[in-house]
Amino acid sequence: MSNTCLLAVLVGGVLLLLGGEGSSQLAVGDRHTLVAIRKGWGNPRHLASWDPAAAAADHCSWEGVTCSSNATTGGGGVVTELSLHDMNLTGTVPAAVCDLASLTRLDLSNNQLTGAFPAAALCRCSRLRFLDLANNALHGAHTRDIGRLSPAMEHLNLSSNRFSGAVPLAVAALPALRSLLLDTNRFTGVYPAAEIGKLAGLECLTLAVNAFAPAPVPVAFAKLTKLIYFWMSEMNIIGEIPKALSSLTELTQLDLSSNNLTGAIPAWVWRHEKLEYLYLNNNTLIGELPRTVTAVNLIEIDLSTNQLRGEMSEDFDNLRNLTFLSLNRNNLSGELPPDLGKHSPLSSIDISRTVISPNIQWIEMGNNKFSGSIPRTAIKLLVFSAENNQLDGELPADMSKLANLIELKVPDNRITGPIPASIKLLLNLKSLNLSGNQLIGAIS
């Protein structure tokens, strides 16, 4: 803690003694503080309810204010949370905020706040555990001051600002962090992977969309075994997806898209049973699709724009929750199943395979070498986009089993035969492209 901050804490303590320790005094103090904060922001319209002259005596009912209901710490009236997102606030974070001595949660996201990281204003908030400054216009290279925040900090969200320079080593001063969101800023250079790797409680880590120096995925992150949400897109990652990251068994979202990843997709990715969202698109990954897929809870898979080859194994049948599958622009092959989701794998009547989830809504597989014909049955399908493949056969005679389609895009295949009259049953269709096939007839 810097000397400036220490001094401020001492002064605050003296004032507290002079004012007495009773809860009512604390609460009155908090009311005055709220009024000072409002004034500091130029009495913005969204804080109109924070009016000391108005009848509402209880400041705990003011917009965005939450008070403690803990009898031990002072009955009521003590402000513990400020939730001031989407309030069109401008200017900087007022120093008075930390006169709210019991403040644990401060949400200022989605405003138009400017200035540097408000360390001087926030370092006195000794109980702060949650700070959300996402989606503002904060800037500057002095984020090392985050080390002056309360060591009790659990959630720090600086996403979507204009912070620049290096990600500070000072993250290590916040050992209780569970979320660290630094994505979508202007950070550069090398981020402190070893220090971040020591934040053993991290559940959410986002470093995406920053102009870091090209570097591999840090093996130090393999220690973050509680990680659930891992967003590392568009940040100049090179090299292979490390085997060591197989330790991250709690992951539900893994996003390494839009980097320069090379090599094959490691087997562990397809085995993490908690994984729901997998985005590895826009890299230069090679190798075949996996034979064994036990990550049965996958909801979205985007592998588009890589150099993958091979076929989808029967194990993709097991992804019952899959709604989005993008395989565009690879070198994949194999025959599409005629019916998506019609047959249970255990059905004794018809043993034909499903291969793609019955719940699938979105399939993109353009620019590959897929064969077979357009699915006949896919009742939940909204988008089927498979341009430039080797699909053949005819369009399904009864298109009513594709009734939810919004987009059907299959140009440049080998589809033959008539355009079925039932195409007019696709009442939701907004986009249709059948060009570059050998179809005959008109759409009536």
Residues lying near ligand NAG in the complex (CB under 6 A):
70, 72-73, 88, 109-110, 132, 134-135, 155, 157, 179, 181, 204, 214, 234, 236, 238, 258-260, 282, 296-297, 307, 309, 320-321, 331, 387, 411-412, 433, 435-436
Between 314 and 398, name the residue whose CB sits nearer to ligand NAG. Answer: 314
Structural element, H or E, at residue 155: strand 155-157
Nearest distance, CB of residue 35 and ligand NAG, angstroms = 21
* Token digits of residue 177: 């962090």
Nearest distance, CB of residue 169 and ligand NAG, angstroms = 22
Beta strands 65-67 and 79-83, pairing class: antiparallel
First to last CA, the chain: 75
Give the residue among 400, 410, 399 at the shortest CA–CA distance from 434.
Answer: 410
Between 135 and 401, name the residue whose CB sits nearer to ligand NAG. Answer: 135
Q: What is the DSSP string of 52-68?
A: TTSS---GGGSTTEEE-
Structural element, H or E, at residue 34: helix 23-40
* Token digits of residue 262: 């090379």
Nearest distance, CB of residue 255 and ligand NAG, angstroms = 12
Between 185 and 338, name the residue whose CB sits nearer to ligand NAG. Answer: 185
Length of the chain: 444
Give the span between the Cα atoms of 46 and 293, in whole angstroms: 51
Half-sphere exposure for 38 (CA within 13 Å, toward CB): 21
Between 32 and 320, name the residue whose CB sits nearer to ligand NAG. Answer: 320
Between 77 and 338, name the residue whose CB sits nearer to ligand NAG. Answer: 77
**Spatial contact of 253 and 231, defined as CB atoms under 8 Å apart:** yes
Between 247 and 390, name the residue whose CB sits nearer to ligand NAG. Answer: 390
Unique residue bearing structure tokens 């150099």: 307
Nearest distance, CB of residue 307 and ligand NAG, angstroms = 6
Nearest distance, CB of residue 331 and ligand NAG, angstroms = 4
Report the residue closest to ligand NAG, judged by CB.
157
Nearest distance, CB of residue 14 and ligand NAG, angstroms = 22
